Structures are given as structure tokens and as C-alpha cells.
Amino acid sequence: MTALFAIYGAGGCGRGIMPLAREQLRGRGAELVFVDDHAAGDRCNGHEVLSFDEFCATPATEKRVAVAVAQSTSRATIAKKCEDAGLGFFTVRASNIVEMDDVEIGEGALLSPFVTLTSNIRIGRHFHANLYAYVEHDCVIGDFVTFAPGVQCNGNIEIGDCAYIGAGAIIKQGTLERKRRIGAGAVVGMGAVVTKDVAPNVTVVGNPARPIGARG
């Protein structure tokens, strides 16, 4: 009997994370699978695909999951289901990420190639940072936050739980006295340039970023 690790989600996000997990676990004697209740076929990119119930029923010395679902609220729901089933989590980190001083990251993070985290940063649980995203100094990021590829999160920014920051978005830096705030559940559209705070559960787009439907 061996340890059983899973990438939860065989979609694009999961298939991008699987090679990183495979390299990270190399030599540890652990079996690595996908968990997905909706995937077609029983194998994907060389790995077995199990349903959630099959994964839970498979004997193992330990079981851990990395939830690779980009949509933040769906990721939170899946993580709760895993917790209720007594499953642990693991973090997947590309070998070439840059992490500087005093960076704290909660469990279950997925950090893709070329991600940079500078200094004095606090990040919550199940953070996704996709290709070439960066987080600058003195940022505070909540749980289940997603950064799509190329996000530029500059210094002194606070991001609430379950926010989604689209590909290539730029968030202007705040100050030590007043951080720029992206509210919980907010969505920042692809390529948006955020120069002001974003309220919770609001979607902003454009340069400068404005709420959808707002007039200049």
C-alpha cells in the first residue's frame, strides 16, 4: 500500500498542474491520479482518472488532493467536500518560481512556472497563481483567490476571498497607509487596469477598470 495523491480536475487547469505535481513527487513512491466525476475515459495524459467516490474508497497509507479548478467558488466547494471526507491537501510548486523574504502561503496552493512572490506577503488557502503571474511586496490575499496568466499584482494590495483576477490584469499599487482593495468575490476582467478599489462581488473591465455597465 502506498500514498495516493490526486489532482482534482482533469480539465485544462488540472492538466497544466499534473506535470508539476509529477516532478515534485518523483522518487517519493506515491501514486498520482486525477479525480474527476465528469472526465471522459479512464486515463488522461498517462494518469488514471478516478471518480471522487473511487478515490475515497481506494486503500492508501495517506491521501492528499490538490484542487485544480480555476473557478474560485467551485474550488471552495470542492475543498469543503474533501475536508468532510477526511482528505488532506498538498501544494504544487513549479521548480522555477521565485519566492523572496517573509512569504506565507496557506495549504493547497498551485504555483505555475515563472510565478514571482517578492517580500512580506500573506496568502490564504488554495491560491492559484498561473504562468508569469506575480505578487509584489506587502500584499494580503485571501482564500481561494485565482490569478490567471500574467497577472501583475503590485505592492500594498489586499484581495478578498474567492476573487478572480483575469489574464494580463494590472492592479495599481496601494500604500502602506491605505492598501488598494479588491473585494471578496470580485472579478477583474482580462487585461483590466485597476486604479481604484473594487467592491465585493463586482466585475470590472477595461482601462481604467470600471464595473460592467458603468459609464465613464
pLDDT of the chain along its 216 residues, tens only?
Answer: 799 999 999 999 999 999 999 999 998 889 999 999 988 778 999 999 999 999 999 999 999 999 999 999 999 999 999 999 999 999 999 999 999 999 999 999 999 999 999 999 999 999 999 999 999 999 999 999 999 999 999 999 999 999 999 999 999 999 989 999 999 999 999 999 999 999 999 999 999 999 996 544
Task: Return d(Cα 105, Cα 199) in angstroms, integer.
Answer: 24
Give the residues across from 42 on adjacent strands: none
pLDDT for the residue numbered 216:
45
Q: Which CATH number applies to 4-90?
A: 3.40.50.20
Hey, what's the cell of 48?
Answer: 488514471
Other beta carbons within 10 Å of 185: 19
Prediction pTM value:
0.95
pLDDT for the residue numbered 32:
97
Task: Return d(Cα 63, Cα 215) in angstroms, integer.
Answer: 51
Domain ranges of the chain: 4-90, 93-207
Q: How far is CA 198 from CA 78, 124, 135, 160, 187, in A?
A: 26, 19, 18, 10, 9
Q: Do domains 4-90 and 93-207 have the same CATH topology?
A: no
Hey, what's the cell of 54?
Answer: 473511487
Q: How far is CA 149 from CA 46, 94, 102, in A?
A: 25, 14, 24
Q: Tell me the catalytic residues.
A: 137
The C-alpha torsion from 141 through 89 and 84 to 50, rounded to 10°, is 120
pLDDT for the residue numbered 215:
45
Q: Which helix (H) or strand (E) holds 35?
A: strand 31-35
What is the third-level CATH fold of 93-207? UDP N-Acetylglucosamine Acyltransferase; domain 1 (2.160.10)
Query: Are 211 and 196 contacting, i.e. CB atoms less than 8 angstroms apart?
Result: no
CA nearest to 5, candidates 13, 14, 76: 14
